[in-house]
Structure 1
Amino acid sequence: MSAYKTIFFLGATGYLGSEFLLLLNREFPDLHIVALLRNVTQEREAQLRALYPNSSVVEGTLDDDAVIREQAAKADIVINCASSDHTPSVISTLAGLEINSKNNPRRPPLYLHVSGCGIISDNARGEPVEYVKEWSDIGLDLKECNRRNMHLDSDIPIVEAGSRKENPVRTIIYYPGQIYGIGEGIQKTTLWLRIFLDMTKKLGFAGTWGPGANTMNNIHVRDCASGLLLVLKAASEGKADEGPEGLYFSASMEPKKTYHEWTKVMGDYLFEKGIINQAGSRPLPNEVVDPLGEYGWSLLGGNLFVKPERLAKLGWEPVETKKTPILESLPSMIDAALQG
């Protein structure tokens, strides 16, 4: 990693981003992190430096095109853990990286983007199905995915940037499954848990898109962060697949749990704590699911079966996922989210 000096980081204080920075600091503390932060305060800067002392802050949001372009144009590496579906920030990043590549023709920059397995949803609408295709990341072609699925509007331009000959960018996209567990970084709990928890508290019961028979591979946040670091190390050594081949699923092959199973655990636990008035889980009413439209049905009502063969080639194993299964983790995750 000695050839690299700076990383422009989006999402540094988030759930996966801050977990990753802890690991990065243990192995590569000499890299300088420039983190994009909104609403900068001394407290937020101190939180970041507690994770990664060799860091500085540039204030801005994902909508600040000029800020993102400027930082991407001069960083050796850009890592985006902030949002899988904020296409404008991806376009800004790629524009800055194109300038970067033009200015450094012998050393194109590296872009490591965190997306999600929603790209391969079967849109089962929560219904049980007889067969679900299991997608490998080897031979994966994003243009073969259902174009109505999530993340593709951001991901396809990234692959195209990693495929061109003029002003090329080294691109890798990382696709986590259902991330869970209590993080050691700044944000302790995953976004999907906080969304479902907030919705459950407002409704008074836990629920699913349709009957909740759909499921996906899961991954503990520590394993997800370790896989991301492994990919970065491999890329720095010229050993990672990149461009059209640089698509990495990050997921365990541990038993999958349906949305009905884990929302039932959530409903039962919150009922026992007296926070809601109904135990178990049931299909959510139209007034909840309709506002999200096909976005919600694709992401929250589909099956997402993946096989992380590229990470396996690098020697990665989901150690924490095997030790702490998702259903066993849910009560402590809920407690942490409630306290937060």
Structure 2
Amino acid sequence: MSYTGPGFDPPQPRRSRRGPLTVALAALVPGALLGWAVYAAVGGPGGDEGSAGASASASGTPTAGSSPSASADDTKPGASASAKSPSAPAGSGALKGKVVVIDPGHNPGNFRHTADISRQVDIGTNRKECDTTGTATNDGYAEAEFTLDVAHRMRTLLERQGATVKLTQDADRPFGPCVDERARIGNEAKADAVVSIHADGSGTGNRGFHVILPGAVHSGAADTRAIVEPSGDLGERIAGDFVRVTGSAPSNYIGDGTGLVTREDLGGLNLSTVPKVFIECGNMRDSKDAALLTSGAWRQKAAQGISDGIVGFLRG
């Protein structure tokens, strides 16, 4: 997902939330930063990143499942974990009774339905396009393929923990769903957590991930006031675990090195009534980030880091 184009308001700086949770998380920031710095120093992915900064995550966050070794096929951009790791039935485990909705950004078929996805829908604050085609690497690996692959890997990890996992789309429809329907799917599932998976389409040299948190919106059909606090907790945990597992640094071009950005112009967040965040896992238009995003082994780490953050949030 790129910020360029009509209808996107400038990202808003993250609003601080005071309270015991904020104080506790702030105390853990040096540990998260140190963990990334050590990883980078020994040559981990993203180790040459010039900007460093991370959100805090409680140490010892439960692991959602062990990462399988990448096979030769797994390193291909189009290799999907769904074919290799069939879903495990939910029912037992630490997340028994919890519902997680994964929202793979865009849809591989959107480019065939540009008129359909261009129609305007109500996002509470105003009206926006139903969806977009998303971005792609310079070699043509589509964001929609990336998001679906990571979603499949996350589903396997979370179902192993006993969670009930639902996807907003699984390339099982010609296009979409629209952003308002994506929010509605999470709401109707009464999800305990929703994560929308994306990759950015920014300029060359812009690297790293960032997590997008909902701002306090109360307009029209949108009222996020009740979910701002828990969504912030979810986002902070995901950011911390993403650093820990992938070794990737927070974005060097947005979020002031924290890996956290607050926005009030995204319908998928504005219309949510349950805790929800977006994650931009990297910049597809930068060759170094693209090398990570097109690696099946790295996508497994990305899925693990996001899943670990969800597990930590749901276990409290």
Question: Which TM-score band applies after superposition, normalised by the shorter structure?
Answer: under 0.3
Q: Which has the higher contact order (CA 8 A, sep 6+)?
A: 2
**Which structure's residues are more often helix, by fraction?**
1
